Amino acid sequence: MGQTVRKTRFIMSLMREKFWLEEMAQQGLFLKNINLGVIYTFEKREPQRLVYDVDRFDLPKYPVLKEIRDREMFVSLAEEMGWQEITHDEDMNYYFCKPYEEDGINEMYDTEEERRVHALKYRDRYRHAAQVNYKCVLVFDFLMLALALILKSPLPFILGFVWSTIIMAFGYWCEGIAQMCEREFRMGAQEWLRANGKKSNTKKEYRLFLTTKGLTKYLQKQSRKGWHIIRSSAMCYSFEKGPQESLCYTVDSRAAVNRRRRARHLRKIGDGKDINQQNNDWQVESVKEAEQNGMEFVCAYANNQILYKSIRQVDFGKKNMFLYSWLLYWVVFAAIGFIFGFITGFIST
């Protein structure tokens, strides 16, 4: 038994965690256990190049026999392919590893369909956690409002509002993790490294742009230096080295698509039931129009905006838009809370 080493590290991205564990193995530290999701116990041995992967085996409320045996069957098949189960954390994420093979398969999921199923499994797990939080907020707010009216005091509602804001923030965080897991697990290992600036010809930049005008000017400046964007999130932009050329960038959204459709007297694209904008009708329309105008798809920010590039500037609807529409939801939520608190205080007096 080798010497044990403990490291404490908070890593939200399971893909980032995977590559960190592989770096540790090359330094002679091999994963042995994980506690509370942040305390990693390693065994010190001779350095070796390993690859890690993670999976979970959630049972539905009324499982059938196949679902009960799924984990046992999966582990048995994984062992035949050289993977070894190491440990699992409190969230029941199971960790596997195997020696790296130069010309072999070094991922548990190496086909597009396998990655899609794996990604949806993690997305649904965190999205379910977010939905539970939102339901708890509704029930708790109702109880606090009733208590405030009974006691004729705004204090219960104010306390409820503060607590609900915290729970809503946690729910929103879970939604973000769900989207991140789905996005990352749909990628292969090499694609993830490329998208996250982990190769010599890639880089990541952290910037905050409130409007599309500031963002597109920044991206055009980067393209002149030979850095071309391949992926973006709220404040993180991934670039890949390429030829130095001045490219023009355009951001499109559902609102912009509908403005162009109204100008042509066409029906507005929208679905009242599509609260999270998962319906892709406007994206399909946007991509079709962009390609007709000589623009090329670059990436999508979440699922409410699309970034395009072209060799010349194209008039594609509104030239400047507010990037963070989700901030408006928080402003509305805070305003409603303030109004309820004011009404409750007024009634109690």
The pLDDT value given to residue 348: 52
Q: Residues of the chain whose pLDDT is less than 50? A: none
User: What is the structure's pLDDT at 128?
Assistant: 83
Residue 200: half-sphere exposure toward Cβ, Cα within 13 Å: 0
Locate 199 and state its tokens. Answer: 């190769």
Alpha-carbon gap, residue 301 to 234, rounded angstroms: 7
The answer to whether residues 282 and 252 touch, using CB atoms and an 8 Å cutoff, is no
Residue 114's H or E segment, with its range, is helix 112-151
Distance of CA 150 to the CA centre of its chain: 42
In 3D space, the residue among 131, 46, 42 whose CA is nearest the CA of residue 95 turns out to be 42
Calculate the alpha carbon distances from 236 to 113, 205, 207, 230, 231 in Å: 28, 6, 6, 11, 8
**What pLDDT is recorded for position 336?**
67
* Domain extents in the chain: 3-99, 109-186+326-349, 197-270+277-325
The DSSP result for 203-214, as a single string, is EEEE---SBHHH
- How many beta carbons lie within 10 A of that of residue 167, not counting itself? 16
The arrangement of strands across the sheet holding 84-88 comes to 50-56, 93-99, 84-88
pTM of the model: 0.62
